Amino acid sequence: MRLGADHVVVTVPATAGNLGSGFDSLGLALGLTDEIEVRAVASASVELEIEGEGAETLPRDESHLVVRALRAALDHVNASQTGLAIRAINRIPHGRGLGSSAAAVVAGISAARGLIAEPEALSAEVALEIATQFEGHPDNAAPAIYGGATVAWMAPGGAKAASVPVVDGIEAAVLIPGSVLPTEQARSVLPAMVPHRDAAFNVGRAALLVAALGGQPELLFEGTEDRLHQTYRAEVMPSAMAMLDHLRAQGLAAVVSGAGPSVLVLGTDLAARGLASGMPQWARGIGGENWRVVHTVEQVPGATTHRL
C-alpha cells in the first residue's frame, strides 16, 4: 500500500481503566489530550521534538513508542516505511494511571492511518488489535480509540470493544498526584488467584456500573465497589488510597484510575462538590500529596486524525 499524505496531526485522549469494578475491561476517555504532528520525510531518519511530559526523559529515536506503533501499523498494511519528523505535545501525565502509554500507541497507529492512501485499512477494530499487542490488554486503548466509555475483552480472534452508553449529566473528575507509580509495579502486587465470592462480587458490581452509567447515576457509588485490585494495591499507592477513602466517605463514587495513583470520581455536578479543574485547597496534603483536578463534563471523543 502506498502513502497518500505526508503531514498529519493526531489528538488522542487520556483514559481511565477499570473504573473500579470493571477490572481490565471498562475504560473512559478523559478531557486531557496529547497532540502528535507527523511528517513523512524523504530519508531514513527519525527526528523527534517533545514538549511537556517526558520532554527530559523520553527517547528521540526508533525506540519511542509513537514511532514503534506507527511503524507496526504501516507494516500491518504493507505500506512503505518512511523517514519521520515528529512533534509531540504531551499533556497526559506519565506513570499516573491515565493511559499515557496507550495514548502514545494509539497516536502512532492513528498517524499511520492518516498517512496511508486507504485509511480504512487501519479501522478502529484493527487499531485496537495492534494497540493491544503493545499494551497487553485493551481497556485503555479502547476508549482512546472509540472515545466515551467502553468495555473491552479478549476473544479467540483478538481484542474486541463496544461503546457503553453514558447518560447526559454524568461527569468525571480525575485527581492527579505528584508521585508516579509504574504499571508493572502496580500489577506485581496482584494475586494470581482471588476468592470466588470476590469474583462474583465484582461481576455484579461491574454490571451495576454499566446500568448506572446508562441512566441511573444514583447507583454509581455501589457500581464502583471493587474487591479484585484496589485493596491489593494499597501498599504501593498509600496516597491514592488515602484520597479514595476521603472521597468515598463523602458518598462520592471514587476509584483508582487504572493502575494509579490518580483517583477518578464519577458523578453529577462534580464542580459543586469541589472537583472543578485546578488545585483545590481541600485536597492539599491528603496522602502527603498536592492534588490537581481535571474535570470532564462532556463525552470525550477518541483519537482524531487530520491531514494537513
pLDDT in tens, 244-274: 999 999 999 999 999 889 999 999 999 999 9
- Report the C-alpha gap between 125 and 130 in whole angstroms: 9
Q: Determine the pLDDT at residue 1.
A: 81
CA atoms within 13 A on the CB side of 187: 11
The pLDDT of residue 183 is above 90: no
pLDDT score of 23 more than 90:
yes
On the question of pLDDT at 141 being above 90, the answer is: yes
Q: What is the pLDDT of residue 237?
A: 92
Report residue 2's pLDDT band, with 50, 70 and 90 as the boundaries: confident
Element (H, E) at 278: none
Count other C-beta atoms under 10 Å from residue 300's C-beta. 21
Classify domain 171-296 at the CATH class level.
Answer: alpha beta
| pLDDT score at 286 | 96
Report pLDDT for 242.
96
Q: If pLDDT is split at 50, 70 and 90, which confidence band does 172 have?
A: very high
What phi, psi does 228 have (nearest 5°)?
A: -100, -30
Torsion of CA 71, 74, 79, 85, to 10 degrees: -50
Q: Is 97 annotated as a binding residue?
A: yes
Pairing of strands 83-90, 263-267: unpaired
Question: Are residues 144 and 12 in contact, defined by beta-carbon separation less than 8 angstroms?
Answer: yes
Q: Which amino acid is at 265?
A: V
Which residues touch 145 (CB under 8 Å, ≥6 apart)? 106, 124, 127, 128, 131, 161, 302, 303
One-character DSSP codes across 134-195: HHSSSTTHHHHHHBSEEEEEEETTEEEEEEE---TT-EEEEEE-S----HHHHHHTS-S---
Query: Is 127 annotated as contributing to ligand binding?
Result: no
Residue-wise pLDDT for 206-251, tens only, equals: 999 999 999 999 999 999 999 999 999 989 999 999 999 999 999 9
Q: In angstroms, rounded to a whole number, what is the distance separating the alpha carbons of residues 176 and 262?
A: 5
Q: CA-CA distance, 22 to 129, in Å (whole number)? A: 20
* Residue 94 annotated as lining a ligand binding site: yes
In CATH, what class is 7-165+300-307?
Answer: alpha beta
Rounded to whole angstroms, the Cα distance separating 84 from 86 reads 6
The side-by-side arrangement of strands in the sheet containing 253-256 is 253-256, 263-267, 171-176, 292-296
Sequence-ordered list of residues with C-beta below 8 angstroms from that of 216, at least 6 positions apart, any chain: none
Q: Is the pLDDT of residue 186 over 90?
A: no
Q: Cite the residue boundaries of each domain of the chain with CATH code 3.30.230.10.
A: 7-165+300-307
Report how far residue 151's alpha carbon sits from residue 143's, in angstroms, rounded to the nearest whole number: 8
Single-letter amino acid code for the residue at 116: I
Tell me the average pLDDT across 131-159.
96
93 annotated among ligand-binding-site residues = yes
Residue 279: which pLDDT band, with cuts at 50, 70 and 90? very high
Percent of the chain with pLDDT over 90: 92
pLDDT at 297: 96
Domain(s) of CATH 3.30.70.890: residues in the chain: 171-296
Q: Is 98 known to sit in a ligand binding site?
A: yes
Instruction: Reply yes or no on whether the pLDDT at 127 is more than 90.
Output: yes
pLDDT of residue 187: 85
* The pLDDT of residue 131: 98
pLDDT in tens, 84-111: 999 999 999 999 999 999 999 999 999 9
* Residue owning grid cell 505526508: 6
- pLDDT given at position 43: 84
Q: Average pLDDT of 145-158?
A: 96
The half-sphere exposure of 269 on its side-chain side, counting CA atoms within 13 A, is 3
